[in-house]
Structures are given as C-alpha cells and as structure tokens.
Structure 1
Amino acid sequence: MFKVTKPALTLFVAGGICAALAACSSSNSSSAPAASTTSASAAASAASASAAASAASSAPAADAIPAADCTIIKQVSSSAITTLTTMQAESKAKASADMTTYLSQLAADKAKLTSAKGKSVLSAWIADVQKATTQSTADATTTITGGLGALASACP
C-alpha cells in the first residue's frame, strides 16, 4: 500500500492546499477559508483546467460514463475538499492514518465502477492524491486542483 511520509504529508495537509481547493468548489464555497494569493492563483489555474476539461467532456456520447458510475464519481468529487480540509487540522499521525483510510476508500469506490472510463477517471484522482503527498506545497496544489477539476468535470 501507499506510504505517506510525515514531511510530505505535513506540506500537503498543513501547507494550505485544502484552502486552495475550497476556493475552487462552488458546492463547498461556504466553508472555504479566506483566500490568499496562493489560493487565488490556484483557483485561477483550476478554473483554466476545469474549462479545458469541460471542453474535452463534449466528446461523443459513446465515451460517456454510465449514470451509476457518475453517482460514485460525483460523491468522491463532492467530498474531496471536506475530507482533505479535515486532515489539515489534525496531528501528523492522525492525518497520515486518515490519508491511508481515504486512499483505501477511493480504491473501494473504484472497484464499484463498471466502465473503463469511470475507472480511469478515479484512478487518475487516486494517483494525483498519492503524488501530491510527496510534492512541495506549490506542486501539490497544482496537482490536486488539476485532478479535482478533471474529477468534477467527468460527469456533467
């Protein structure tokens, strides 16, 4: 299983990445912390990524993700910010344990999907979350906001 290093987790969770994510989600905007320059920049990047993903999502209906898969993907997308934000306020040990649990839950959600496209979308999100835990705060912010934009736009 994926191992989260304490320094990387600290950068990822305590470094303000969750604040940047909260600025990008209209469904969780009421719980978003005050925006900083970094958050505003990340939000602008995420908006660009989301617009590009929306343009790409106008692909033929044959590539559409089934409704049952979309239900799962939308749930993962809508809970991602809250899940990551909660970890921000936790101790390193608790955040590390919760990250392991979150990644296990994502793997279980992926196993429930029936379409290759749906599995691909969720696999990409899992890879982004794992990658972000080993990156600098700036790089992790870019990785997560881009991944969240792609996840959110997978199912219109």
Structure 2
Amino acid sequence: AMDAAIDQQYADLFAAMPTPTYATYGNVDIPDRWAKHAHDGVQILDGEVAQIGGLRFGFVGGGLQTPMRTPYEITDADYAAKVAALGPVDVLCAHIPPAVAELSYDVLARRLERGSAALYEAIREHQPAYMFFGHVHQPLAARTRIGRTECINVGHFARTSTPYVLDL
C-alpha cells in the first residue's frame, strides 16, 4: 500500500510538470522511481550541467546524512564530488542550501538543517549569479548574498503562494 501511494504521488507530481522541466532530487526522494514517471519533457539532473537560455545551470540533488536517514542522503564526500563535477556555472541549483546559518535554520522546527560546505565553497570560488535551493521549509532568511551570488530559497513561497521566477 505504501509503495502504491508513493508511486501515485510521483505520477501526480510529474503529470503537473510543464515542458521543459529541469529537476533534481530532494533528500526524501527515491531516484529509482523518478524515471518511471518522468515524461519526455523532464530532464533529471544530479551533478550535471544544463544550458538554459544561454546560461550554464548546475544541479546537485539529495541531502547530506542526518539522523533522520531519509532515502536520498549521501556522504559529504559524495556530495562534494557532485558539486566539483559542475565546475563554474551561472546558476547553481541544489535541494539543500549552502552552509550558511540564516539559510539553514528552520524557525518552526527550531533547528539547523544540514547545509553544504561544498556548495558554500563553490559559491565563494566561482561566484555564480544565483544559487537556488529549497529544503528548509520555514527559513530564518529566505535569501542572502555570498559575495556577488544571490542565494534564494525558491521552495519557500507559502506566504505569497507565488513561486520564484527567473527571467532570462
């Protein structure tokens, strides 16, 4: 029954996605199930780069290991390798935030979620224009700057009910 419910949620999710969609996994996702439901217009990226509107978008999926043990948590070393594989990008997209306290602290859960030091270092080194992430449901800060990079929690739009849109 649980497997059927999970499959139905993925079927509903992917049916709602427009074409094109560029997606990466979250920490609670089960990557093996995505391919079963993704349609031709969905490109799934994890540790990979896509050219969109003349810009290089880098995607890193999953989360870092925690006591929660969600399905797609990986080691810091494996996560860092995916970040390094991207090289310089114009826009960095990940499920989790960089390791910055105000972006990682969930005010409702009253805890720091695990942000990535590898993402933080990549931002410091390459200074992409934007870093988009989600994961932290009720962040202390929904956005901040690291150098010239605007870091934005694009998953946090409950107050406005309006998703973030990047005009290229």
**Structure with more strand by fraction:** 2
TM-score, normalised to structure 1, is 0.28
TM-score for both structures, normalised by structure 2 = 0.27
